[in-house]
Amino acid sequence: MLTEALLLTGGLSATAFLLWKRRNRRYTSSESVAAAYDAWTDDRLLERLWGEHVHLGHYGTPPSDRDFRKAKEAFVHELVRWSGLDQLPRGSKVLDVGCGIGGSARILAQDYGFDVLGISISSAQVRRATELTPEALSCRFEVMDALDLQLADQQFDAVWSVEAGPHMPDKQRFADELLRVMRPGGCLAVADWNRRDPSDGALNRNERWVMHQLLTQWAHPEFASIKGFRQNLEVSQHNRGAISTGDWTQPTLPSWIDSIVEGIRRPGAVLGLGPKAVIQGLRETPTLLLMRWAFATGLMQFGVFRLNR
């Protein structure tokens, strides 16, 4: 079984391992997701280390030696091009589902001239996103549940969602809501952490243990597979086109180690928050290493989804 050996091989101390064993953010409801992100936002550690983009970076194909934060910005532009959002005129209305602290939304508004609404289940994220966004930018944020969007049908020219799907207990409803609010002929851009599809092989004992950790440590009810979520989109009553998918596992893979190394590159970012932040960083490191292992071995995949126009 992948237990102490895997974690300590990654360079973790016994103290960090004990901290990891005591932590748990098991999904129980949307409130548990909101509480986790409220805490991550308020302690500022994630922002200090990851910057404004609470998602992975894109390092190119093959991956290059790219700065972690620049890779995160590059990810946004890569997904814009891949999904066809760059073909939309300035002023197009875009919904960012699971907006974090607004990093992607601000790029979409500033670099592409879109009118962006970002939504998050976390009131702390919405507050921080609003604080970081210049008033002149056409970009605003609201607290909202992605499984119950309080928005009219066919309201947006594009719907954007990055790494929000793992927090959704009902993947079909998530797909339905994304497509419901998008106008006919609009653009869909979804990027998510996905598990290996059961048709490609059942999980062995070690993989089941790792999967359990990945679900319970970061408030995930379940991961969809790329095949599975593609089917959710295809069978939705709101679907009006063909769905295309891609696997961006390799170009995003360096993010996991980079997210740990940032603490070494920018020690003041952590130390400036006090001893509690150092302990918190140690608590997160095992899960980051497990994520890296899962994506490197094929247990997990980084899927991207678009609607062909």
pLDDT in tens, 69-84: 999 999 999 999 999 9
Predicted confidence band at 308 (pLDDT cuts at 50, 70, 90)? Answer: confident
Close Cβ partners of 173 (under 8 Å, ≥ 6 residues apart): 147
- Closest-CA residue to 91 (of 68, 73, 114, 71): 114
Q: How confident is the prediction for the chain on average, in pLDDT? A: 90
| φ/ψ of residue 307, rounded to 5 | -105, 120
Note the pTM of the prediction, 2 decimals.
0.90
Predicted confidence band at 230 (pLDDT cuts at 50, 70, 90)? Answer: very high
Q: Determine the structural domain holding residue 217 and report its residue range.
A: 4-307
Percent of the chain with pLDDT strictly greater than 70: 92
In the predicted structure, residue 262 carries a pLDDT above the cut 80: yes
Close Cβ partners of 3 (under 8 Å, ≥ 6 residues apart): 209
pLDDT in tens, 128-157: 999 999 999 999 999 999 999 999 999 999
Instruction: For residue 203, give the CATH number of its domain.
Output: 3.40.50.150
pLDDT in tens, 17-43: 444 444 568 888 899 999 989 988 988
Helix (H, G, I), strand (E, B) or coil at 223: coil
So what's the pLDDT on residue 14?
53
So what's the pLDDT on residue 271?
76
In the predicted structure, residue 13 carries a pLDDT above the cut 60: no
So what's the pLDDT on residue 20?
44
Predicted confidence band at 246 (pLDDT cuts at 50, 70, 90)? Answer: very high
So what's the pLDDT on residue 205?
97
- Looking at the 3D structure of the chain, how many domains does it have? 1
